[in-house]
């Protein structure tokens, strides 16, 4: 019903589906294309699809990606240069096509992460046209997380599991239907067209309780919301060597992290030599080249790269954005091939230093 209405209003709809053994948000071909019963078991270094015995639509916790690649493209041309008939170089901007897109099933942790991406890409005086074009076209249908994965810890970062801001429409899935709430004028326009019956007080209360039990079910946590000083006072802690001995510097954690925005810009000349594209692609602070400055590397080993990632995310972001760069989605834990657990590392590093 909701998807059909969104399609009628001209939205390209993205919702949950399985690709390569994981639950992702992909384009829905028909209004009834959202499957029931999808779920996945997650733990450090492990992600496995299962079935929800209650056959709900949104019983899954986040897969490897959600909103980020649809706003901040993994790779895209920013501009091109070509030689014209007279041999003069002509430069032109390349802006993405940005059809209206509705994303159905986004979670509170990813809405909080998107707000951080907005703070970076849409900041005053440095608005990124490519990001802005895609972002403006997004309509976000959030869903309360009723069954967090074992890797989730959004309750401890204050970002979930119930969406509180940043959505156009919010849903809470209950045993006998959905509680639906509009969060913007665009969302209200869609909700009005659905002609729903008003939610009963009992349903609203059930949704609130469902959010509270989902938060209580989370077993992982960070020891505080502001770990800036606790971490920055431990830059020589032996734990950095211990984690570096396990870390493969593969960059998976940065690729799946919904707040990471590092990128590289490269020129890709055509074989003819007549044109070249200037391309932006996701980069990772775990890569050797990321720390390369003129003539030397400021982060030549894995110890310094892991430390850079963790201290930037949980300490430096407080100076840049007024909060930590972690929204507790747990992806970096599940998708780390050696099962490095950010919450475990932080607990060890800040054992006596956490700020409550």
Residue 350 touching ligand SF4 (CB under 6 A): no
- Regarding 323 and contact with ligand SF4 (CB under 6 A), the answer is no
76 contacts 125 by C-beta, under 8 angstroms: no
- 65, 156, 259, 311: residue in contact with ligand SF4 (rule CB under 6 A): 259
Query: Nearest distance from residue 218's CB to ligand SF4, in Å?
Result: 12
Based on its alpha-carbon atoms, the radius of gyration of the chain, rounded to whole angstroms, reads 22
Per-residue contact track with ligand SF4, 73 to 102, x per CB under 6 A? ------------------------------
Q: Per rule CB under 6 A, is residue 166 in the interface with ligand SF4? A: no
Contact status: 328 vs ligand SF4 (CB under 6 A): yes
Does 346 interact with ligand SF4 (rule: CB under 6 A)?
A: no
Residues 6+ apart with CB under 8 A from 125: none
- Under rule CB under 6 A, which residues in 99-118 are in contact with ligand SF4? 113
Determine, following the binding rule CB under 6 A, whether residue 242 of this chain makes contact with ligand SF4: no
47 binds ligand SF4 (CB under 6 A): no
Q: What residues have CB less than 8 Å from 205, skipping those under 6 apart?
A: none
Check if the beta carbon of residue 40 is closer than 8 Å to that of residue 53: no
Q: Which long-range contacts (CB under 8 A, 24 or more apart) does 176-184 make?
A: 177/203, 179/203, 179/204, 179/206, 179/207, 180/2, 183/142
Residue 278: CB atoms within 10 Å? 16
Q: How far is the CB of 178 from ligand SF4 (least distance, A)?
A: 26
Binding mask 285-304 for ligand SF4 (x = CB under 6 A): -x------------------
Does 71 contact ligand SF4 by CB under 6 A? Answer: no
Q: Tell me: does residue 122 bind ligand SF4 (CB under 6 A).
A: no
3-state secondary structure 255-316: HHCCCCCCEEEEEEECCCCCEEEEEEEECCCCCHHHHEECCEECCCCHHHHHHHHHHHHHHH
Stretch that binds ligand SF4, among 52-60, 69-77, 88-96, 250-258 (CB under 6 A): 250-258
CA distance 225 to 169: 27
The piece of 47-55, 171-179, 203-211, 325-333 that touches ligand SF4 (CB under 6 A) is 325-333
199 token code pair: 């939610």
336 counts as binding ligand SF4 under rule CB under 6 A: yes
338 scored as a contact of ligand SF4 (CB under 6 A): yes
DSSP 37: S
Among 39, 42, 162, 327, binds ligand SF4 (CB under 6 A): 327
User: How far apart are alpha carbons 78 and 242 in whole angstroms?
Assistant: 40
**How many beta carbons lie within 10 A of that of residue 320, not counting itself?**
13
What does the binding site for ligand SF4 look like in residue numbers (CB under 6 A)? 113, 247-253, 256-259, 286, 313, 326-332, 336-338, 340, 342
């Amino acid at each position: 019903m909701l998807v059909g209405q969104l399609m009628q209003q001209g939205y390209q709809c993205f919702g949950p589906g399985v690709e390569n053994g994981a639950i992702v948000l992909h384009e829905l071909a028909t209004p009834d294309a959202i499957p029931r019963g999808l779920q996945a078991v997650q733990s450090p270094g492990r992600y496995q699809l299962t079935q929800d015995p209650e056959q709900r639509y949104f019983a899954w916790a986040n897969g490897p990606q959600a909103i980020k690649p649809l706003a901040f493209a993994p790779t895209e041309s920013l501009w091109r240069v070509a030689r014209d008939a007279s041999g003069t170089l002509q430069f032109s901007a390349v802006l993405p096509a940005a059809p209206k897109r509705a994303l159905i099933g986004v979670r509170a942790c990813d809405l909080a992460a998107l707000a951080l991406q907005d703070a970076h890409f849409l900041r005053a005086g440095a608005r990124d046209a490519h990001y802005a074009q895609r972002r403006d076209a997004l309509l976000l249908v959030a869903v309360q997380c009723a069954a967090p994965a074992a890797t989730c810890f959004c309750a401890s970062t204050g970002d979930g599991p119930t969406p509180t801001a940043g959505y156009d429409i919010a849903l809470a899935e209950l045993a006998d239907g959905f509680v639906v709430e509009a969060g913007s004028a665009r969302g209200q326009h869609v909700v009005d067209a659905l002609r729903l019956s008003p939610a009963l007080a009992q349903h609203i209360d059930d949704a609130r309780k469902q959010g509270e039990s989902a938060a209580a079910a989370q077993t992982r946590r960070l020891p505080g919301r502001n770990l800036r000083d606790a971490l920055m006072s431990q830059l020589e802690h032996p734990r950095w060597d211990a984690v570096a001995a396990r870390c493969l510097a593969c960059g998976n954690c940065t690729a799946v992290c919904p707040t990471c925005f590092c990128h590289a810009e490269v020129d890709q000349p055509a074989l003819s030599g007549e044109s070249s594209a200037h391309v932006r692609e996701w980069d990772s602070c775990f890569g050797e080249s990321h720390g390369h400055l003129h003539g030397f590397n400021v982060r030549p080993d894995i110890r310094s790269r892991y430390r850079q990632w963790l201290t930037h995310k949980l300490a430096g972001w407080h100076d840049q954005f007024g909060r930590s760069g972690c929204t507790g989605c747990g992806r970096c834990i599940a998708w780390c091939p050696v099962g490095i657990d950010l919450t475990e590392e932080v607990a060890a590093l800040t054992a006596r230093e956490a700020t409550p």
